[in-house]
Copies of this chain bind each other. A is one copy, B any other.
């Protein structure tokens, strides 16, 4: 039942009395948010959580749509596994590595123990400034965590052994992502230095992108991709699926960036919605201009990657740049991603879905853009952050992939790669009943 707002009698209460009566609000301002504000903040963070969850479906659709039909089951299996492994490992170790409370090795490493525990004050304690529960905090961050490993998935698609990929994923998402994350979001050394990464251009996307680069180098290109010194285009098999993936990623980004406000603050969340949307749209236009100009045709995969480029680009500074800057950042990201895709292909690094260009190249761009477009942040500090994450993530990914390669091999056999991983690894076809080109 909605309460009445008092009678006309009290509307004429004296001003002096009104001031006194406002005291409860003063009290709450001291003690924390009101019960209502706590509830709306928490609700928004849970909405953001399910939006970030959707991104895992987005990646699954994008990656399978952009690759060949014969490897589709394999990619879907990987993406379903990654979110599951990511959630479980984050519950056991990741969350407490990323938010250790106290660091035990400098400001580089800390661990708050195994498993989830809302602590003595229980679940009702407001955890952050925005005031939401411990469980909300965990599940929002857990949805983020698996993203980094999923980014790797697309780059190494169509030739990596399933078991080896899952082993890499488990280690990368359980240990490397959260340790790296603790440096900034856990209050570690880069946070104290003033490095800024609002929602993870570097902490999520570049960390994933560096892992992708390490994997691509160690795996080598798909058979025939660079045979006889020529670059062979290997077309994706399902453009509607890829497009669904990109739109779902864009949708999920409203939670990825909007939830990174860590409250339902109307000003900040709505600004973030605007900067995020306009950067994505400008990324499409930038990639359209670049690909129509350079490649002389309107390339669907390029504008799809352009929207993702704009999104990755705005992620580091979505709350601190102007809307005009957001459009510029997105547009430039759209130009850059086209150039990066072409460059990486010419460098004979075989990345079937353009993951390195989208997530690493544009992640770096977005992080540096904060230093360019926000007066409050230092370009040099941003550069230091980019470099530090690059060294750590690439080295860690390389070592893990190398170890897995030594232990079990990374790559499927040539026959299996030719006939497809779906039959080879899973004994199953993605499109049973359809006639495919041999």
Question: Would you call A284 and B10 a contact (CB within 8 A)?
Answer: no
Closest to A35 in B: B2
- The minimal Cβ–Cβ distance linking A156 to chain B, given in whole angstroms, is 17
Known contacts A135-B273, A297-B426: does B10 contact A23 (CB below 8 Å)? yes
- B-contact 0/1 string along A1-34, CB 8 Å cutoff: 1110111011101000111111111111111101
The reply to whether B426 and A299 form a contact with Cβ atoms under 8 Å apart is: yes
Residue contact B247 to A57, C-beta cutoff 8 Å: yes
**Complex contacts, A241 vs chain B, CB 8 Å:** 240
Complexed CA–CA distance, A125 and B267 (Å)? 9
Q: Tell me if A307 and B80 are in contact (CB < 8 A).
A: yes
A282 sits at the interface (CB 8 A): yes
A23 engages B18 (CB within 8 Å) = yes
Given A1-B126, A6-B19, A61-B240, A251:B436 Cβ within 8 A? no
Pick from B7, B26, B430: contact of A239, CB under 8 Å? B430
Residue A254, interface by CB 8 Å = yes
In the complex, which residues of chain B have a beta carbon less than 8 angstroms from the beta carbon of A238? 240, 430-431
Instruction: Give A326's nearest chain B residue, CB to CB.
Output: B91
Q: How far is the CA of A101 from the CA of B271 in the complex (A)?
A: 22
Top 3 A-B pairs, shortest CB-CB distance: A235-B432, A135-B270, A42-B266
Interface of A is mostly: helix
Given contacts A60-B243, A77-B300, A274-B135, contact A431 B237 (CB under 8 A): yes
Task: Flag if A40 contacts B36 (CB, 8 Å).
Answer: yes
- A323:B91 contact, CB within 8 angstroms: yes
Using Cβ atoms and an 8 Å threshold, which residues of chain B touch A21?
20-21, 23-24, 27
Which residue among A31, A53, A274 has the maximum number of chain B CB atoms within 10 Å of its CB? Answer: A274
A76 within 8 A of B: yes
Is A64 part of the binding interface, using a Cβ–Cβ cutoff of 8 Å?
A: yes
Give per-residue flags for A206-248: 1 if the beta carbon is below 8 A from chain B beta carbons, else 0.
0000000000000000000000000000011111110110111
Count of chain A residues near B, Cβ 8 A: 141
Q: Counting CB contacts under 8 A, is A196 at the interface?
A: no
A68 CB contacts on chain B under 8 angstroms:
432-433
Residue of B3, B271, B278 near A34 (CB, 8 A) is B3
Residues facing B in A55-73 (CB within 8 A) are: 56-57, 60-61, 64-65, 68-70, 72-73
Asked if B25 contacts A6 (CB within 8 A), the reply is yes
Q: Which of A44-52, A362-370, A377-385 contacts B (4 or more CB under 8 A)?
A: A44-52
- Whether B40 and A28, one on each chain, are in contact in the complex, defined by CB atoms closer than 8 angstroms, is no
In the assembled complex, how far is the CB of residue A307 from the closest CB belonging to chain B, in whole angstroms?
A: 7
> Please, which residue of chain B has its CB at the minimum distance from the CB of A133?
B270
Q: Give the complex CA separation of A65 and B32 in angstroms.
A: 50
A132 within 8 A of B: yes
**In the assembly, what is the distance between CA of A199 and CA of B434, in Å?**
39
Q: Output the nearest chain B residue to A65 by Cβ-Cβ distance.
A: B240
Q: Find chain B residues with CB under 8 A from A297 CB.
A: 425-428
Q: Mark A257-300, 1 if CB is under 8 A from B, else 0.
A: 01000001111011101100110111011001000000001111
CB distance from A169 to the nearest CB of B (A): 13
Contacts of A327 in B (CB 8 A): 88, 91
> Nearest chain B CB to A294's CB is how many angstroms away?
14
Is B37 within 8 A of A139, CB to CB? no
Q: Which residues of B contact A31 (CB under 8 A)?
A: 1, 3
Chain A 147-187 interface 0/1 with B at a Cβ cutoff of 8 Å (1 = within): 00000000000000010000000000000000000000000
- A277 with B5: in contact, given A258-B46, A297-B427 (CB under 8 Å)? no
Contact A132 B270 (CB under 8 A): yes
> Counting CB contacts under 8 A, is A194 at the interface?
no
A54 to nearest B CB, angstroms? 6
CB contacts under 8 Å to B, within A348-383, are none
A303/B136 contact (C-beta < 8 A), A116-B323, A436-B433 known: no
| Inter-subunit contact A433/B437 (CB<8 Å) | yes
Q: Which residues of B contact A51 (CB under 8 A)?
A: 50
- Asked if B285 and A84 make an inter-chain contact with CB atoms under 8 angstroms apart, the answer reads yes
Q: How far apart are the CA atoms of A248 and B49 in the complex, in Å? A: 14
Which B residues lie within 8 Å of A270 (CB)? 42, 46, 123, 132-136, 139
